[in-house]
């Protein structure tokens, strides 16, 4: 029977040799790479004690050699050739933290072809090239680990792939982009409009100079595809995600949602239905009584509903140098804990073994279903009943209707509606017709409501 070298030699300490280190080659030494170097150095004794053997950085590839040398301090050889790291015989595991999709794909595939395990925090790479990369890794019997690609500080990939394996997962819903959550929290807490909140996020370093990737929901969509694939045992299908960002969200709607007892969050939702899977990233109303409504600032929170475990939730920082390093190093420890000679892909890349993956269809927008919030500018406060009755005639089940308490200066009365769950196709038809209703005095706003029950 195989025994861990450290453990099995215990009764004979005099014969014990130092266990072989896991040798790491790192491609990229920006924020995440530098954090990984720092944490590996700071906690090396604890990490080796947990892993059963030391984890050693043996080589770094970086574009800026001088900056890289400053970070690693002359202790680790630095090259400007990522392929040298990806293919070097002294490297057991390649950590890819350079980012991007084109060249990173080549480096990762080269590492796999040379029998090396790969650890990456590159969600875009996996969302776009995941199927190809995982297939190559299966063929070569190596692991591709990516805990750092989703909600970095939170071991959510591990929770889905290993912690909740008994469950049929019904849905995953999460605040998985810290930038937009920071902006939404500012809009709610300080009554700012989107532009002002974005400017503050940029000033504080929570948003990039070009924030499109975050605020248009692309980053969240990358993460959602990885979560959904692990939850349902389907392939990674970025193109099938309905994506809507927060750029057109009005401060008024944040206030009206609060009046109704909700907060607005940018949620990634993956939900299994009889006919297929819903995959969507959208701003949505969450009941203020719900734990998810209290995931504020730049924090991330992910809920998973399993048929046995019920609802579990995972919360933590979704970005940051050492926060991402925490995930990258956990992946390295996982690899180190496999025996050197028998190292293999213990946990399948997407939770399910390849033969058990299913080709669940992704539902088109019209077939998805949820409750809705509507804000309808009307000519007179008395129109509230007419709007409600009209919606019911359009097959939109109305749960609650009221007037906005505090309208924007200069705007007229606003009818607020909460619906029961309704198919998006029905809702879209009704919204189109409602816009032409004689009582309606301006653009109707519709947002989804997620009860997460």
**Which one among 27, 47, 68, 108 touches a second copy, defined by CB under 8 A?**
47
Q: Give me the least distance between CB of 155 and a second copy, in Å please.
A: 3
Considering the complex, state which of residue 244 and residue 322 has its C-beta at the smaller distance from a second copy: 322
| Residues of this chain, 49-78, that bind a second copy according to CB under 8 A | 49-52
| Binds a second copy by CB under 8 A, chosen from 30, 103, 276, 320 | 320
Q: Which residues contact 333 (CB under 8 A, 6 or more apart)?
A: 47, 50, 51, 55
Provide the token pair at 408.
Answer: 């924007």
Question: Minimum Å distance from CB 141 to a second copy?
Answer: 4
Closest to 113 in 3D by CA, of 96, 81, 136: 136
Closest separation in Å from C-beta 176 to a second copy: 14
**How many residues in the shown chain lie near a second copy by CB under 8 A?**
85
Among 315, 378, 404, 434, binds a second copy (CB under 8 A): 315
> Which window, 46-54, 125-133, 183-191, 196-204, contacts a second copy (CB under 8 A)?
46-54
* CA 197 to chain CA mean position, Å: 22
Task: Tell the smallest beta-carbon distance from residue 34 to a second copy (Å).
Answer: 13
Within residues 248-307, the interface with a second copy by CB under 8 A covers 291, 294-295, 306-307
Could you say which residues in the range 137-156 bind a second copy, by CB under 8 A?
Answer: 138-139, 141, 147, 153-155
Please identify which residue in 72, 125, 317, 422 interacts with a second copy, judged by CB under 8 A: 317
Q: Shortest gap between Cβ of 37 and a second copy (angstroms)?
A: 12
Task: Specify the pairing of strand 445-449 against strand 369-377.
Answer: antiparallel
Which residues, at least 6 apart from 182, have a Cβ–Cβ distance to it below 8 Å?
Answer: 197, 201, 204, 206, 207, 297, 298
Which position among 69, 333, 407, 441 is part of the footprint of a second copy (CB under 8 A)? 333
CB atoms within 10 A of CB 438: 9
Residue 9: strand pairing partners: none
Cβ contact 68:13 at 8 Å = no
Does 403 participate in binding a second copy (rule CB under 8 A)? Answer: no
Told to check if 92 binds a second copy by CB under 8 A, we report no
Out of 205, 342, 410, 453, the residue judged to bind a second copy by CB under 8 A: 342
Backbone angles phi, psi at 164, to 5 degrees: -115, 25
Does position 130 bind a second copy by CB under 8 A?
no
The CB-of-132 to a second copy minimum distance in angstroms stands at 15
User: Is residue 171 within the footprint of a second copy (CB under 8 A)?
Assistant: no
Return the range that interacts with a second copy (CB under 8 A); candidates 3-11, 101-109, 174-182, 253-261: 3-11
Q: Bin 395: left if φ > 0, else alpha if -120 < ψ < 50, else beta.
A: left
Which of 116, 158, 186, 223 is the catalytic position?
Answer: 223
Name which of 45 and 209 has its Cβ closer to a second copy.
45
Q: Are 312 and 172 in contact (CB under 8 A)?
A: no
Span 228-247, contacts to a second copy by CB under 8 A:
233
- Torsions phi, psi for 345 (to 5 deg): -85, 85
3-state secondary structure of 377: strand
Q: Determine the Cα angle at 164 with ends 159 and 168, to 5°.
A: 135
Joined together, the tokens standing for residue 276 give 């297929």
Shortest CB 243 distance to a second copy, Å: 27
C-alpha distance from residue 423 to each of 185, 312, 373, 429 (Å) = 29, 27, 14, 10
Residue whose CB is less far from a second copy, 117 or 129:
117
How many of the other CB atoms lie within 10 Å of CB of 211?
Answer: 18
Give residues with Cβ within 8 angstroms of 239, minimum separation 6.
Answer: none
Active site residue 223: yes
Single residue of 83, 243, 258, 309 touching a second copy by CB under 8 A: 309
User: So which residues are the catalytic ones?
Assistant: 223
């Amino acid at each position: 029977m195989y025994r861990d070298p450290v453990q099995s030699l215990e009764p004979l300490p005099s014969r014990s040799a130092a266990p072989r280190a896991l040798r790491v080659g790192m491609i990229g030494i920006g924020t995440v790479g530098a954090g990984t170097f720092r944490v590996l150095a700071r906690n090396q004794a604890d990490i080796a004690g947990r892993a059963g053997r030391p984890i050693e950085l043996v080589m770094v590839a970086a574009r800026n050699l001088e900056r890289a040398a400053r970070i690693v301090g002359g202790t680790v050889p630095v090259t400007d050739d990522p392929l040298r790291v990806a293919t070097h015989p002294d490297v057991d595991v390649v950590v890819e933290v350079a980012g991007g999709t084109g060249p990173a794909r080549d480096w990762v595939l080269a590492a796999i072809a040379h029998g090396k395990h790969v650890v990456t925090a590159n969600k875009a790479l996996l969302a776009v090239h995941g199927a190809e990369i995982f297939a190559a890794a299966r063929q070569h019997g190596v692991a591709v680990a990516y805990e750092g690609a989703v909600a970095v500080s939170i071991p959510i990939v591990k929770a889905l792939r290993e912690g909740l394996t008994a469950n049929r997962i019904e849905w995953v819903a999460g605040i998985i982009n810290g930038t937009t959550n920071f902006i939404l929290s500012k809009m709610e807490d300080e009554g700012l409009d989107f532009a002002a909140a974005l400017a503050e996020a940029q000033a504080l370093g929570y948003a990039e100079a070009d924030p499109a990737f975050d605020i248009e929901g692309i980053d969240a969509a990358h993460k959602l595809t990885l979560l959904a694939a692990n939850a349902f045992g389907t392939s990674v299908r970025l193109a099938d995600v309905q994506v809507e960002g927060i750029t057109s969200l009005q401060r008024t709607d944040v206030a009206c949602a609060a009046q109704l007892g909700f907060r607005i969050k940018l949620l990634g939702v993956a939900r299994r239905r009889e006919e297929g899977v819903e995959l969507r990233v959208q701003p949505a109303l969450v009941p203020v009584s719900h734990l998810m409504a209290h995931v504020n600032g730049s924090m991330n929170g992910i809920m998973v509903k399993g048929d046995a475990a019920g609802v579990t939730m995972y919360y933590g920082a979704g970005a940051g140098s050492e926060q991402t390093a925490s995930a990258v190093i956990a992946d390295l420890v996982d690899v180190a804990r496999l025996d050197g000679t028998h190292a293999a892909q213990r946990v399948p890349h997407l939770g399910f073994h390849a033969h058990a993956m299913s080709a669940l269809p992704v539902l088109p927008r019209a077939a998805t279903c949820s409750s809705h919030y509507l804000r309808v500018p009307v000519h007179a406060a008395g129109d509230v009943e007419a709007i409600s009755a009209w919606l019911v005639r359009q097959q939109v089940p109305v749960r609650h209707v009221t007037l906005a308490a505090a309208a924007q200066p200069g705007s007229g009365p606003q009818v607020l509606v909460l619906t029961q769950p309704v198919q998006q196709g029905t809702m879209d038809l009704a919204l189109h017709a409602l816009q032409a209703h004689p009582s309606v005095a301006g653009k109707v706003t519709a947002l989804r409501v997620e009860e997460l029950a």
